[in-house]
Amino acid sequence: GAGVSQSPSNKVTEKGKDVELRCDPISGHTALYWYRQSLGQGLEFLIYFQGNSAPDKSGLPSDRFSAERTGGSVSTLTIQRTQQEDSAVYLCASSFPSGGGSYEQYFGPGTRLTVT
Amino acid sequence: AQSVSQHNHHVILSEAASLELGCNYSYGGTVNLFWYVQYPGQHLQLLLKYFSGDPLVKGIKGFEAEFIKSKFSFNLRKPSVQWSDTAEYFCAVNTKAAGNKLTFGGGTRVLVKP
Q: Is the CB of A101 inside 8 Å of chain B's CB atoms?
A: yes
Q: When comparing pLDDT for B1 and B65, which is higher?
A: B65
B chain contacts of residue A43, beta-carbon cutoff 8 Å: 90, 92, 102, 104, 107
3 state DSSP class of A80: coil
Q: What gap in Å lies between CA A5 and CA A78, rounded to an integer?
A: 17
* Alpha carbon distance, N-terminus to C-terminus of chain A: 33
A chain contacts of residue B32, beta-carbon cutoff 8 Å: 100-102
Q: What distances in angstroms separate CA B69 from CA A64, B30, B89, B92, one per listed residue?
A: 40, 10, 21, 15
CA dihedral (A10, B93, A3, A80) positive or negative: negative
pLDDT tens by residue, B54-108:
999 999 999 999 999 999 999 999 999 999 999 999 999 988 777 788 999 999 9
Strand partners, A62: none
Phi and psi at B28, nearest 5°, equal -85, -10
pLDDT by position in tens, chain A (length 116): 589 999 999 999 999 999 999 999 999 899 999 999 998 778 999 999 999 999 899 999 999 999 999 988 999 999 999 999 999 999 999 998 765 556 789 999 999 999 99
Q: Among partner residues B96, B101, B107, which is closest to A100 by beta-carbon distance?
A: B96
**Environment class of A116 (CB within 10 Å of its CB; exposed 0-12, middle 13-18, buried 19+):** exposed
Q: What gap in Å lies between CA B16 and CA B62, rounded to an integer?
A: 12
Q: How far is B111 from chain A (nearest CA, A)?
A: 18
Q: Is the CB of A110 inside 8 Å of chain B's CB atoms?
A: yes
In the stretch 59-98 of chain A, residues with CB closer than 8 A to chain B read 59, 91, 93, 95, 98
Name which of B16, B26, B14 is nearest B91 in CA terms: B26
Q: Among partner residues B49, B90, B106, which is closest to A104 by beta-carbon distance?
A: B49
Q: How far is B75 from chain A (nearest CA, A)?
A: 19
pLDDT tens by residue, B8-60:
899 999 999 999 999 999 987 888 999 999 999 999 999 999 998 999 999 99
Q: What gap in Å lies between CA B92 and CA B45, rounded to an integer?
A: 12
